[in-house]
Amino acid sequence: MKPDCLAAVSFHRTMPGYAPTPLVPLPGLAGMLGIGSIWVKDESKRFGLNAFKVLGASYAMGKLAARRLGLDPDGFGFEDLRSGTLGDLTFATATDGNHGRAVAWTARRLGCQAVVYLPSATACARVKAVESEGAEAVMVEGTYDEAVRLAAKESSERGWI
Query: Known catalytic residue: 53?
Result: yes
The CA distance from 140 to 119, in Å, is 5
Of 131, 143, 7, 12, nearest to 75 (Cα)?
7
How many H helices and E strands in the chain? 7, 5
The CA distance from 41 to 127, in Å, is 27
Q: Which of 42, 45, 53, 63 is catalytic?
A: 53
The CA distance from 60 to 146, in Å, is 22
The CA distance from 11 to 82, in Å, is 13
Q: Which of 4, 74, 96, 145 is catalytic?
A: 96
Q: Tell me, what amino acid is at 3?
A: P
The CA distance from 99 to 61, in Å, is 12
The CA distance from 11 to 151, in Å, is 26
Partner residues linked to 158 by β-bridges: none
Query: Known catalytic residue: 128?
Result: no
Enzyme catalytic residues = 53, 96
